[in-house]
Structures are given as C-alpha cells and as structure tokens.
Structure 1
Amino acid sequence: MEKPFSNKMKPIGGYLELQFLSGQEYYPHLTRLNNGRNALEYILKVKKYTMAYIPYFICGVILEPLKKLRIPYEFYTIDDKLDPILDFIVGPTECFLYTNYFGLKQDTVLSLSRQYQNLIIDNSQAFFSNPLDKIDTFYSCRKFFGVPDGAYLHTPSPTKLKYEKDHSFNRISHLTKSIDLGIESGYQDFLDNNKALSNQPILKMSNLTQKILQGIDYKECKYRRDSNFMYLHDFLVKYNDFTFDVSSINGALGYPFVHSSSLIRAKLLEKRIYIPIYWPNVFDWTTKKMYENYLSAHLMCLPIDHRYTHTDMKRMINVLKKLL
C-alpha cells in the first residue's frame, strides 16, 4: 500500500477534500484504537492475564485476541435477564469479561464492579454507558455510527503500549455506496470490510474515523435511539419474552425482542427490515438445550438508531402486528 506523503508541512492548494463538521468526540479523553477486539488485546497485554472467563453469548471475534496471545479461556452461562451465572472463581491472574448487552445492563456492570477486581466490560453494545473509573472498558464505534472502524479504550493501568496509526480510506466503500446506491448495494463491501478487520495489529484510530466521530451530534443520536426504543416498547412489551427495566435505557443498541416464532426475521427481511443474528457462532458453542442457543435463534435486535423516526417504527410495528 502506498504510504501517505511524509512531509509534515501543511499543503496549500490542490483539490478540495471531503468536508466534515468540526466538533468533539463523545469520549475525547479515552484511548483511540482501530477496533474493539484490539482494545481487548491491549488490556490483556497490559494486565498479563493468564486466563479469561467469557460468556457463551458473545461475538466470535472476541476469541481472536485470546488465541493470538495464547491465553486459555472458559465460557460461562447467563440467565434470562442476561446476567452472568457466577458458578466460577476468578483467580488473581485471571479476568472476567462481561458484555453490557444492548446497553441495558449498566446496573449489572455496577454490581460486578463491586465484586471483581479483574473485570473487563465490553461496551460495544453500550456506547453511551460511561466507563467506571477503575474498570477496564472498551467500545466499538461502528456498531453505533457510520464509520469504517474505530474503538475507544478506558483502562486505569499506567502502562502504555506504543503503536502506529491506522488508515481507513480503503474500508469506507460500503458507507459511500449506501449514500449513492442504497444500503443493499454496499452490503458485500460491508462484509468484506468485516473480513479486513480480522487479525489486524493494535493501531491508533485512523484520522478519517476520528474526523467522522468529531462531527456527530451525539445528543440527537442518543435522543432518537431512546425515543424509538420507547415507541416500539409501548406496543411490543406484551409480546416480548425478554423483560427488562425500561428506566435503564441509555442510547440502546437496538430494541431486543425475543419471541418463540421462527418466522418473524424472514418476514421482516421481505419488507426490507434487516435484523442481525446475535451471534451465529453461538450455535457452534452451545447445545439446543442452552438458553444462549435459544437467544441466538429468537432474539431480534430491532433497529432504532438515529436514521429513523416514529414513522419508521410504526412501519415495523405494522409488519409485526400480522405475525404476533
């Protein structure tokens, strides 16, 4: 790959570049990295953990840094509230990873922080949940915003690792295609980008990703998520097999809807309503008797993000009414 021009003197003239709004990131004081799994790798390297406890219900890419560093791991189970079943003991050189599912589990995060010193919080689904002072925490930006990559890391460790800066210009085609040609046209590029992020070294967040993140209206994004969440909840609460404290919503990733029907996801797809599976790897890790297996098959994270209004939520509800 051709290296960027090395002269540090600011150029004057030439073609006009993309223009971004100039503002502040949501977490300007956190460490900026290239992706969430590398933020976890950073923690594991700094803390020199010899063992990790991770939930069955988690994205398979979380194993990447563990395998890279040859750190053994054990899975643990969660209950129907998505709380960990604590039937294991975390040793002094071991760590316990918990995911703040859909940004709804901050109370559990607080409780666990009082019990475990070697706790790592995965806030990749909880961008708007602030990190706790003494708890290692990482975020994945592309789960919430239109960026090609990027992560934030909060760690109380005084040890600092040195690393080079990432470049994202070759991983943004799915975002630009979606503007000109529609979201479906960029889907293959999106999948290719996911593959390109595998087995990357720890790098600083790219200038491009940081520029985009500096131009986001975070207050509006969070408001829209909360408003859309409650709009869906008012209708779906009586059909939802997953119960949660509504007062805990804080810019949630999506609306987690659990239902025994296996037809809903396909019917939504027919109406161009796209629902991800969290997560296909869980089927390989679990048996059909396990709750995590059921969740992966029947939990639908309904989209509520800043792109959508109550009109879009009503459209989704109208489709669901015919299925419930």
Structure 2
Amino acid sequence: MSNKNEIGGYFELECGFHKNYHNSSLLFNSSRNALSFYLQQKKIKKLHVPMFTCETIWKSVERANCTIIPYDVDTDFTPLIEFQENQFYLINNYFGITGKKNTMLCKNKKGNIIFDNSQAFYSKQYGTAGIYSPRKFFGLPDGGILCTDLNLEEEYEKLPRSHSYEICSHLLIRHDREAQEGYDEFVKNRQIIAGCGIEKMSFLTQNLMKSIHYEKIARIRKRNFNYLHNRLKNKNLLKFEPDTDDVPMVYPFKVDEKKELQAYLLKHKIYTASYWPKSNEYPMHMAGENCRENRETIIPLTIDQRYTKRDMDRIVFVLEKFFGNNG
C-alpha cells in the first residue's frame, strides 16, 4: 500500500502482502489509545478496571475522563467482582491463557465487558469491544487494534495519522547486535509512544503487519508453550491446563524464589519482564493482595516465534540447574 503520489526515487522498506489478522478492526498507534478512543466514543463515565494490569491502562481510562473502579483478581486471574447490568468492565486475558474463562464470563455475566487482549493477540473478540497490542507479539514499532460491533468509522477517520519511522531504532539494532545494545533505544521509544495522542496507525506499521505470517507464528508459540508446560508444570505453582485455542504471549512460571531466579536467568542471558510495577500515581494500582502475590511470584518465560525446541531446552536446563543448586 502506497501513501505517496510520487513515482521513482529510492526504495522504501520491502513489506509483504499477508492479510491483517483482525478484519473489520480500527487501527491505532497504541492499544492504550484504542481503549481511550472507545471509552470517549461510547461516553463511558465509569469503568471497573483490574488492579493487576499495566499502569498505562489506568492512564488511558483517566485520559478518557472516565472514573476507575478498581477490583482485584484471584490468584488464578478470576475477576473478584459482582457483575451488574448497565455497568462497564475491563477484563484482562492474562498472558493469553484465560481466553476460555473470558468466553464463559461473557456468556454468563451481566454488564458490558471490554476485553483487554493486549497479551492475547490471537484471541477472538467477545463482549462489547476488545483491544489488542500487536507489538507485544511481533517486531513492530507501535500499534494498537480496536475490535467492536459499533460503527465508529466516521469519528475514526477524523483522527490524524501517526508516523513510526523515528521509533524503529531498537528493532533495527537488534537485527545486527544483541538485545542489550538496543535496550536504551527500546525504553526511549516506548516512552515516546506513551506520550502520543490518539492517532491512526502509521502506514509503516500497517505495512509491516502485512509481512507477518500469523498462522506459522501461532503454531510456533503453541509448540514452545506446550513444551515448557510439559517440562515445568510440576514446578509451576500456577496450576492451569492450556486451551487448544490459546496462543499465549509468554509462559507464566510461578515460583517462590522469583527475585533470585530472575537474576539467575539474567546471568545466563535469558531476559524476562515483570508484570507490573506499582504506580506511585495511583494508590489503588496493584494494591490488591492477589495482585502483590502475582507480581512477586510470576516470571514470564519467553516462548515466541524466534525460538526453537533447542532454546526451550536451554531455558529448562538453566531452571533445573537453579533448582538443583537451591534444592
């Protein structure tokens, strides 16, 4: 897709021509802005939001002039709330493994449910709306997706178009160098995205998304996830069985020794994130007892499309070595 009237000149970045995964969706510069846009257009004034979620979600709700009603989730991620009619609820698909539970929530509960599928790109849309964050699954500079049955095209088309070429540096560095050499650029670019207003997805990001082989990536993620689960479920304090439809973002490994184990993994160049740091701006963010337990015990292990069974074996080997040394 070309957005220019020029003919000739130097070549742009080559992109493929796969179809986008989520059809009939609205494409934004970030998932947080997709949520803000939906809340504004729907004129939602109060939203039940999980404490166990990213601080940027709270900021997105607040930016839409919507009051946050916080709730905790159980240690198995079940929302600890009483659903009521004419109320709006934001429900997370945590790590991409709670899709089946979310489907049952949508069928059996009252109220209007918005699903935060930022960690579940492949999840189908249930409820009144769903938001997605493709850059959590693929090598993209930015981007967010809103799926809803509401016709919001007219207001969406009024939005300005974002540009992504200035926030690709960390992606390009990682092509030629190690991840840690581009980490500062990654942090800088992430901060730029956080400060952006509501805009349509850039042409660059849209075209990069057409280069993604979605089905192949889903197969690899499932394979790696299931392999780790078969090897680690006896040590994992988080008890679950993967659903065949789930395409997870990471493998959530719950242990009592999270701090020590994360440091050990880092020493062996196995990088893991932490979901999520407590916000100083919002006293109730991450304030629930179960939120604290989840944050202090769950390590998200990488299972994405860049890695093979040999890489999963390396993760398992390092973990077994750690538990052997600490057993």
- TM more than 0.5: yes
Query: Within 5 Å, which residues of 2 pair with 1:1-324?
Result: 9=5, 11-87=6-82, 89-90=83-84, 92=86, 94-114=87-107, 115-132=109-126, 134-160=127-153, 161=155, 162-248=158-244, 250-261=246-257, 262-281=259-278, 285-286=285-286, 290-324=289-323
Query: Using a 3 Å threshold, how does the CA distance of structure 1 residues 278 and 152 change in structure 2: closer, same or farther?
Result: same
**Does the aligned pair in 2 maintain the 1:268–1:274 contact within 8 Å?**
yes
Note the C-alpha offset of 1:19.
1.1
Note the C-alpha offset of 1:99.
0.4
Note the C-alpha offset of 1:67.
2.0
Note the C-alpha offset of 1:73.
0.8
RMSD value, Cα: 1.8
Which amino acid is 1:59 matched to? C
Which amino acid is 1:25 matched to? N
Note the C-alpha offset of 1:299.
0.4
Give the Cα separation in 2 of the matches to 1:108 and 1:199: 33
* Percent identical: 33
Give the Cα separation in 2 of the matches to 1:207 and 1:27: 17
Which amino acid is 2:227 matched to? Y
Query: Using a 3 Å threshold, how does the CA distance of structure 1 residues 33 and 105 change in structure 2: closer, same or farther?
Result: same
Note the C-alpha offset of 1:318.
0.6
**Does the aligned pair in 1 maintain the 2:122–2:246 contact within 8 Å?**
yes
**Does the aligned pair in 2 maintain the 1:34–1:150 contact within 8 Å?**
yes
Aligned residues: 313
List runs of 5+ in structure 1 lacking aligned partners.
Answer: 1-5
Query: Using a 3 Å threshold, how does the CA distance of structure 1 residues 248 and 82 change in structure 2: closer, same or farther?
Result: farther
Give the Cα separation in 2 of the matches to 1:30 and 1:249: 21
**Does the aligned pair in 1 maintain the 2:49–2:69 contact within 8 Å?**
yes
**Does the aligned pair in 1 maintain the 2:97–2:243 contact within 8 Å?**
no
Q: Does 22-31 or 186-195 show the bigger shift? A: 22-31
**Does the aligned pair in 1 maintain the 2:85–2:111 contact within 8 Å?**
no
Give the Cα separation in 2 of the matches to 1:27 and 1:204: 16
Q: Deviation digits for residues 95-139 of structure 1, max 9, x if unmatched?
A: 11010011111122112212134211000000111112x520010
Q: Deviation digits for residues 130-168 of structure 1, max 9, x if unmatched?
A: 112x52001001100000111111112234422111110
Query: Using a 3 Å threshold, how does the CA distance of structure 1 residues 55 and 282 change in structure 2: closer, same or farther?
Result: farther
Give the Cα separation in 2 of the matches to 1:109 and 1:272: 34
Note the C-alpha offset of 1:196.
0.4
Q: Secondary structure, in 3 states, of the residue corresponding to 1:39?
A: helix
**Does the aligned pair in 2 maintain the 1:64–1:199 contact within 8 Å?**
no
Note the C-alpha offset of 1:197.
1.1
Q: List structure 1 runs of 4+ shifted beyond 4 angstroms.
A: none
Which amino acid is 1:27 matched to? H
Give the Cα separation in 1 of the matches to 2:186 and 2:249: 19
Q: Deviation digits for residues 240-261 of structure 1, max 9, x if unmatched?
A: 0101122355220010100001
Give the Cα separation in 1 of the matches to 2:18 and 2:182: 28
**Does the aligned pair in 2 maintain the 1:129–1:250 contact within 8 Å?**
yes
**Does the aligned pair in 2 maintain the 1:46–1:157 contact within 8 Å?**
no
Give the Cα separation in 1 of the matches to 2:279 and 2:311: 30
Q: Does 28-37 or 121-130 show the bigger shift? A: 28-37
**Does the aligned pair in 1 maintain the 2:99–2:246 contact within 8 Å?**
no
Note the C-alpha offset of 1:28.
3.4
Query: Using a 3 Å threshold, how does the CA distance of structure 1 residues 174 and 124 change in structure 2: closer, same or farther?
Result: same
Which amino acid is 2:209 matched to? L
